[in-house]
Amino acid sequence: MAADIIDGKAFAATMREKVADHVSRLKADHGITPGLAVVLVGEDPASQVYVRNKRKQTVECGMQSFEHRLSPETPEADLLALVKRLNADPAVHGILVQLPLPPHMNADAVINAIDPAKDVDGFHISNVGLLGTGQKSMVPCTPLGCLMMLRDRLGSLSGLDAVVIGRSNIVGKPMAQLLLGESCTVTIAHSRTRDLAEVVRRADIVVAAVGRPRMVPGSWIKPGATVIDVGINRIAVPETGKTRLVGDVDFDSCAQVAGAITPVPGGVGPMTIACLLANTVTACCRANGLPEPDGLIV
Ligand code: GUN
């Protein structure tokens, strides 16, 4: 059996159209333009690519983009002062500080300095707590994108066995919370998990977010399972002397067994940015006491 390919690129394009529609209505009906501020500290090449894409798509959806690039030696106090200014700026509805930060900075302190209402990443401790207790919050973009694709594919997730491989604050933990909120039976697996293959074999839903190229082989996948691959790993291709992107699952063997699978690239990646744009519109609506976008996000 060959798995259906879940087309995150097409899904994200549809979502961006909905975001753009909502933005034009906010402008026409209320004279409000949602604004997203992105802060990049340092010159990490992958982060530079992400930030460029975020800016492009923010502008394409009709929103305002504010970009702040700081040198890698910037003192933490300067970054905190910038966050404070952005918190106070009424034109800024969403703030994203690109991670990772340079080693001399305390990422937790920086994230927790962001106004939770503008924390479109959903990383602030109060948004983490709200999500964990099932209350209205800002939901981290990558897990949110994964959940939207799962719901689109499977409808109700209630009662399904879900295994999340990876326990990061950015993906693994919030993904598990979201799946629990959907009444899945959730296992969080990680580097110390015993007999990972056996754990994954039980799962109707596998979300792989470990950052290890092609770690999950098809022999671990339950026939018909839905596989969501969050990994974006650049590997060398010795035959061509070039590099290419692969996920955390071995696509070819998993696609033989799974019912549906996301590709890399073109799966989770585009959905992450689309969810960031949607979160920015949501933050803007909340800030202005307007109804939140209907049907834009789950
Ligand atoms: N670095 C990698 N992924 C993310 C993300 O979702 N948000 C931020 N702020 N930084 C990241």
Atom of ligand 1 nearest to the CA of 272: 6
User: With 80 as the cut, is the pLDDT of residue 295 above it?
Assistant: no
What are the beta bridge partners of residue 142?
Answer: none
Q: Are 38 and 98 in contact (CB under 8 A)?
A: yes
pLDDT digits (tens, 9 = 90+) for 5-40: 999 999 999 999 999 999 999 999 999 999 999 999
Amino acid 297: pLDDT: 67
- Is it true that 31-116 and 141-270 share their CATH fold? yes
SS3 of 117, please? Answer: helix
Architecture of domain 31-116 in CATH? Answer: 3-Layer(aba) Sandwich (3.40)
DSSP secondary structure letter of residue 223: T
Confidence band, pLDDT 50/70/90 cuts, at residue 293: confident
Q: Tell me the CA–centroid distance for residue 239 and ligand 1, in Å.
A: 32
Show the 3-state SS of 45-58: HHHHHHHHHHHHHH
pLDDT digits (tens, 9 = 90+) for 188-223: 999 999 999 999 999 999 999 999 999 999 999 999
Ligand 1 in reach of 137 Cβ (< 6 A): no
Our CA angle for 191, 195, 201, nearest 5°, is 105
Q: What percent of the chain has pLDDT over 70?
A: 98
Of the candidates 89, 174, 165, the one whose C-alpha atom is nearest the C-alpha of residue 123 is: 174
Whole-model pTM?
A: 0.97
User: With 90 as the cut, is the pLDDT of residue 232 above it?
Assistant: yes
CB neighbour list of residue 202: distance below 8 Å, 6 or more residues apart: 161, 163, 187, 222
98 tagged catalytic: yes
SS3 of 79, please? Answer: helix
Amino acid 298: pLDDT: 57
pLDDT digits (tens, 9 = 90+) for 117-160: 999 999 999 999 999 999 999 999 999 999 999 999 999 999 99
The CATH class for the domain spanning 141-270 reads: alpha beta
Ligand 1 in reach of 107 Cβ (< 6 A): no
Q: 119, 121, 229, 248: which one is catalytic?
A: 121
Question: Mean pLDDT across the chain, nearest whole number?
Answer: 97
Map out the domains of the chain as residue ranges: 31-116, 141-270
Confidence band, pLDDT 50/70/90 cuts, at residue 294: confident
